[in-house]
Structure 1
């Protein structure tokens, strides 16, 4: 038996686009860094580190560049933050965009994205054509929350509550999708059905199973 949902709420990077973690790993391999070194840097002091400050607009790209370098050097490798910023915007997943359109016919759709005040718009890309392509996806949401504009970021429980308030929905009647488990826990604690995204096929299969929607 599937539940009836009022809204499907989405993360963006790593959900509608290929995961930046893949780009991080390619960069690490090319630079002779340990596997997942960038994610390790970002996981140290996660509420106050360079990444957290950037996603809440407490520092700009230049400030992030220096702060990230200090954090990386403390872990044994000299890595500039500006190199990491260029890895953030992945490739669009058209089948997930189609799934969004289906979900929009069934109820409300929202997006909560931890992003940075870089690039063109919410997508964080500096490429005009790509920015336009991604903006067309962002335009389909009934409500969009960007951490860099709001000043708070996932997994702060307030950001999920604000989305439910904006959509005028009961959290217990929502599905939330994210590629980071730490970001799913607050949504789950509020009563949302949650899906951890590890890939495009898995996302579609799990969302179909939870909602009963034909997404393909």
Structure 2
């Protein structure tokens, strides 16, 4: 999620040609997918064949004769994890959100998110007027607020059990390590694409292209999930299948419509989400 804490620059290495024998089928099926609504999907017909087992290449260049496609790229904040900024942080500072947005430095969080500054600089510049910040208190507030969104952990586990390759694709600073320490998200996906490590932010097209280059997959063999529509639209612009996240249940339905092999888990997921 591109949080209100706050937009993009970049440089990029050209994409190497991918050695994917299902390229033509993938591109054809992607055309079908993009005829759908804002989730990026149509009726799902003719899709599951390309979004299944296919020959591919691992990100380190090694051959993987049974790489399971598609690769899934997940936004984190607002898609997998509750974002404490919207409720907990204004309460921590004892001010309404409008006042917090007015007083905070306009670019310092963006700089921190892209790894351009460290925590010490964030603390020093957090407020425009230079007022002191209980920085450890702020971090603890954030940690307390991190939690899985309803039903999402069950869905991630269902995808993991079906051996889908999953990666974080997130605008977030080094504090992603605090999320990992609390929620152990790496049980389900790799923290591969974080703005603080890559120096790029969504919806910068180069961030998406860099992910494709690193993964060595065709755009149509990737599904990107985000709660921000502008980030989903940016993914579609480079050919990635984009899904707008609204809830775990609706995401499950979207993924099944795309032909992903998780339908046997629907009842178990829905039951877990309702308890």
Q: TM-score, normalised by structure 1?
A: 0.70
Aligned residue among 212, 233, 236 for 1:188: 236
Q: Deviation per CA, 1:49-89: give whole Å up to 9, x if none.
A: 1121101211111211232301xx59xxx794946554544
C-alpha distance in structure 2 between counterparts of 1:85 and 1:143, whole Å: 20
The reply on whether 1:111 has 2:168 as its aligned counterpart is yes
Distance 1:200 1:36, change over 3 A: farther
State the superposition RMSD in angstroms.
3.4
Stretch deviating more after TM superposition (85-94 or 52-61): 85-94
Aligned residue among 112, 118, 126 for 1:54: 112
Aligned residue among 199, 202, 208 for 1:151: 199
Structure 2: runs of 5+ lacking an equivalent = 1-42, 52-69, 270-275
Q: Decide whether the 8 Å contact of 2:105 with 2:126 is kept in 1.
A: no
Equivalent residue, structure 1, for 2:81: 17
Aligned length: 196
Structure number, greater radius of gyration? 2
Note the C-alpha offset of 1:14.
2.0
Q: Decide whether the 8 Å contact of 1:96 with 1:204 is kept in 2.
A: no
Equivalent residue, structure 2, for 1:124: 178
Equivalent residue, structure 2, for 1:160: 208
Note the C-alpha offset of 1:186.
1.7
Note the C-alpha offset of 1:15.
1.8
Aligned residue among 136, 153, 158 for 1:102: 158
SS of the residue corresponding to residue 151 of structure 2 reads helix
Distance 1:30 1:87, change over 3 A: closer
Distance 1:198 1:25, change over 3 A: farther
Q: TM-score, normalised by structure 2?
A: 0.58
C-alpha distance in structure 2 between counterparts of 1:59 and 1:152, whole Å: 14
Note the C-alpha offset of 1:107.
3.9
Structure with greater helix share of residues:
1
Q: Deviation per CA, 1:152-191: give whole Å up to 9, x if none.
A: 2222222212222232222123221112233223212112
Q: Decide whether the 8 Å contact of 1:116 with 1:124 is kept in 2.
A: no
Q: Deviation per CA, 1:171-215: give whole Å up to 9, x if none.
A: 123221112233223212112232233444444444444445424
Distance 1:110 1:169, change over 3 A: same
